Amino acid sequence: MDSKRRIAISTPSRSVDEITGSRRLRRMRKADWSRRLVQENHLTVNDLIWPIFLIDGENRREEVAAMPGVFRLTVDLAVKEAERAAALGIPALATFPNVNLALRDLTGSEILNPDNLINRATRAIKQAVPEIGVITDGALDPFTSHGHDGILRDGIIVNDETVEQVAAGAVQQAAAGADIVAPSDMMDGRIGAVRDALDAAGFQDVAIMSYATKFASAFYGPYREAIGTQGLLKGDKKTYYLDHANSDEAMREIEQDLDEGADMIMVKPGLPYLDIIRRAKDEFAVPTFAYQVSGEYAMIEAAAANGWIDGEKAMMESLMAFKRAGCDGILTYFAPRVAEILRG
């Protein structure tokens, strides 16, 4: 090392009070009571939406391999979980079906079946637990034999035909009792088409949560195992999901979906996209939600299982981050665990 570059150690020329002008932010951090007084954001059970997976059958649950602690549930068990969620004060569930492979086809026509798995679950849950909100996913991917969110023709996901199918499926979901339909396929014009279709069928009071900014992401992996699209999907979803390098384009998607009639918007995935959440809330000031997706859940669980992080603390910190970023609520697989912790 060059000795001439060594820095001489001398007494500081200014005291800390001179440097900070007597401002010391640590004063309010000194005790639990003062930290609680100045806490800016709060996470409550009212912020939670619990995504659950459905399978056919009775009294059966299968753990999702990449999501320890998360299960695919038959409708009867989903009803039990809905009862538990309501007792915990969780406002709403979001349901995702793992559809029998024999019922999947090129156009996802099973979405039109009034008695498909998702609609049967909605009916059963709303009958047993009318006080809990049910949000249904309005995309074709659980129903298509290729795992894409749209109708596939000659290697292309066709937009307008998909929109018609999604809108018709949304009407069936509303008829089954869904309180909110959540079109997640990122086709152009889907929100307006779903709104028109719902209104024409007399479902003016059914709300739309737009997956307005859904990014092409590697964080959906475990979800695809959960609903059984993993082995089916060839290629990627880049021709319809947003490029994860883009933020302006995300704002244009939100603006368009709000113009078309979305009641609430969602950013997905969550934690890697906090900048999008903050920007969306600042620019549009509408009910804004994040989906803490399967890969985010899996990362926290895997690190915790290895003893590398404190899983419970990381879970709570990640959810507070969404609140700080401007979220009104979060779809999270952690919902029941968080609700229990918050209840004390």
The residue among 279, 286, 299, 270 whose CA lies nearest residue 328 is 286
The residue among 151, 162, 163 whose CA lies nearest residue 107 is 151
The verdict on 71 binding ligand PBG (CB under 6 A) reads no
- Using CA atoms, how far apart are residues 325 and 204, in angstroms rounded to an integer? 31
Give min distance, CB of 149 to ligand PBG, in A.
5
| Identified catalytic residue from 126, 237, 268, 281 | 268
Give min distance, CB of 180 to ligand PBG, in A.
15
Is the bond preceding residue 91 a cis peptide, omega within 30 degrees? no
The residue among 145, 225, 157 whose CA lies nearest residue 185 is 157
Residue from 135, 206, 293, 335 in contact with ligand PBG (CB under 6 A): 293
Annotation says 214 is catalytic: yes
CB-nearer residue toward ligand PBG: 141 or 253: 141
Which ranges constitute the DSSP H helices of 59-187?
Answer: 75-88, 117-128, 159-175
Cβ distance 136 to 118 under 8 Å? yes
Residues 103-142 that bind ligand PBG (CB under 6 A): 137, 139, 141
Q: Which amino acid is at 49?
A: I
Give min distance, CB of 185 to ligand PBG, in A.
6
Residues 217-236 that bind ligand PBG (CB under 6 A): 220, 223-224
Residues 167-196 that bind ligand PBG (CB under 6 A): 184
Give min distance, CB of 176 to ligand PBG, in A.
18
Annotation says 323 is catalytic: no
The residue among 293, 128, 256 whose CA lies nearest residue 301 is 293
Give the footprint of ligand PBG on this chain (CB under 6 A): 137, 139, 141, 149, 184, 220, 223-224, 237, 293-294
Q: Which residues are catalytic?
A: 214, 268
